[in-house]
Structure 1
Amino acid sequence: MRRHKEDGLLHTACGNPNYVAPEVFKDKGYDGTSSDIWSCGVILFVLMAGYLPFDEPSLIGFYKKIWEASFSCPSWFSSGARNLIKRILDPNPLTFSRM
């Protein structure tokens, strides 16, 4: 992937939609590091829960859940695990949560 010369952001969407950060879908450019952290949060959730955090039969509903970070952690997650995943899966890439 190449960084756009004017804004220094990535503009090529790639990867499985289940793991892609919300800012990638917005097609306005994104920071690769921040979006990779989001993807790692999804992977951590899947490893711990055994299923994806964002699952919806309709494509529009699926994207909406990602944009809003609308998910819930299973009851067996510890409070520390819940807090960590919620901080990583913050839909705003500019907040401290994913940095």
Structure 2
Amino acid sequence: MRRHKDGLLHTACGTPNYVAPEVLKDKGYDGTSSDIWSCGVILFVLMAGYLPFDEPSLIGLYKKIWEASFSYPSWFSSGARNLIKRILDPNPYSYNYS
């Protein structure tokens, strides 16, 4: 991956089910926030046993990722739901951590 003059990454790579929404924009993305998204998908898979975003077509898959459209299993605690909701935020720059 190569950073451009804007300081962002512009090479889309990785497994489609784990890709962050900002990577799909094809306008450059921050590698750290997209890695956090992928870690959120991994956490979900470890806890649920299945992917949060899974569709047979890439267009359908990317739409679900773009909208962060998924549902939690009934056994997820409210704390787990809250954590994953914060990690799988389709707009990572909108959250106020204060």
Check whether the contact 1:41–1:89 (CA below 8 A) recurs between aligned residues: yes
Distance 2:60 2:69 in 1: 10
Where structure 2 has 5 or more consecutive residues not aligned to the other structure, the ranges are none
Question: Which amino acid letter does the alignment assign opposite residue 38 of structure 2?
Answer: S
Bigger drift between 58-67 and 34-43 goes to 58-67
Query: Taking structure 1 as reference, are residues 28 and 17 closer, same or farther at Cα in structure 2, changes over 3 Å only?
Result: same
Match of 1:74 in 2: 73
The answer on whether the counterparts of 1:42 and 1:53 sit within 8 Å (CA) in structure 2 is: yes
Superposition TM-score, scaled by structure 1 size: 0.93
Partner of 1:62 in structure 2?
61
SS state of the match for residue 45, structure 1?
A: helix
AA aligned to 1:37 is I
Aligned residue pair count: 97
Extract unaligned runs of 5+ from structure 1. Answer: none
2:31 alignment partner in structure 1: 32
Measured after TM superposition, the shift of residue 61 of structure 1 is 1.2
Q: How large is the RMSD of aligned CA atoms in angstroms?
A: 1.4
Once the two structures are superposed, what CA deviation does each residue of 1:29-68 show, in whole Å capped at 9, x if it has no partner?
0000000000000000000000000011222111100000
Identity within the alignment, %: 91
What TM-score do you get using the length of structure 2 for normalisation? 0.94
Q: Is the 8 A contact 1:90 1:97 kept in 2?
A: no
Amino acid at match of 1:38: W
Q: 1:97 to 1:15 in 2, by over 3 A?
A: farther
Asked if the contact 1:87–1:97 (Cα under 8 Å) also holds between the matched residues in 2, the reply is no
The alpha-carbon deviation at position 97 of structure 1 amounts to: 6.9
Q: Is 1:2 matched up with 2:21? A: no
Deviant stretches of 4+, over 3 Å? none
Deviation, 1:96, is 2.3
